[in-house]
Amino acid sequence: SLFVVPKVLVNADGSLGQRNGVTCGSIEHKMGIHGNSTCVMNYDNATGWLIGEENKGMQGMFVMMNEARLGVAVQGLAQSEVAYQNAVAYARERLQGRSLTGVKEADKPADPIIVHPDVRRTLLTIRAFNEAARAMVVWTALKSDVAHRSNDPKDRQAADDHMGLMTP
C-alpha cells in the first residue's frame, strides 16, 4: 500500500502544526546516478494517509517508476546530444592529414578531420543513435499520456503495456 506521510502535520484551520514522527535514518551509498539521494526513512509514531487502494502500492510504484525511468532516458539523451555536438565542433576545428577526395582547405596545413570518411561515419552513427533515442522517448511519452488519459480502455491497456516494455 502507498501512504503520504508529511514532515509537518496540518491543523484543522490550515496552519502548520506539530512535526510528524518521520525522519531520515541514513543516506544509502549506491552506484549509478547520484543526483537523487536514496535514504532509509523511519516512521516512528508517524501519522500517514492511505493513497489509493490497500495492497495496490507496488502497482502505484511501478507507474511512478515508469515516469522516472523515462526522465532518466531524457537525461541520457541530453548528455549524448551534447557529446555529439561537441564532437562535431571538434571535428570541424581539428586539422589532420588531407581529404581522400582532394585538398579541402588549401590555405591550411591540413584538412579538418570532419572530411575524413571514418570520422564522418562515426559522427553520423552517433547522430542516428541520438535521433532514434529521441523518437523512442517522444513515442514512449505519448504512450504514457494515452495510458493515463485515453477514454478507451483497450488503448489505455495497450499504451500501459508499451510503457512496461520500454521502461522495465
**Based on the domain organization, do 22 and 68 belong to the same domain?**
no
Show the domain range for 1: 1-55
pLDDT tens by residue, 77-88? 999 999 999 999
- pLDDT value for 66: 84
Tell me the pTM: 0.69
**Based on the domain organization, do 47 and 70 belong to the same domain?**
no
**Based on the domain organization, do 98 and 151 belong to the same domain?**
yes
What DSSP element (H or E) covers 27?
strand 23-27
**Based on the domain organization, do 87 and 117 belong to the same domain?**
yes
Provide block-wise average pLDDT over 10 residues at a time, the chain (168 residues): 95 96 92 82 95 89 84 95 98 94 90 96 98 97 94 96 88
**Based on the domain organization, do 106 and 140 belong to the same domain?**
yes
pLDDT tens by residue, 32-69? 777 778 899 999 999 999 998 999 998 888 777 888 89
Determine the Cα–Cα distance for residues 90 and 84; give it in Å rounded to an integer: 10
Q: 137: buried, middle or exposed (CB in 10 Å: 19+, 13-18, 0-12)?
A: middle
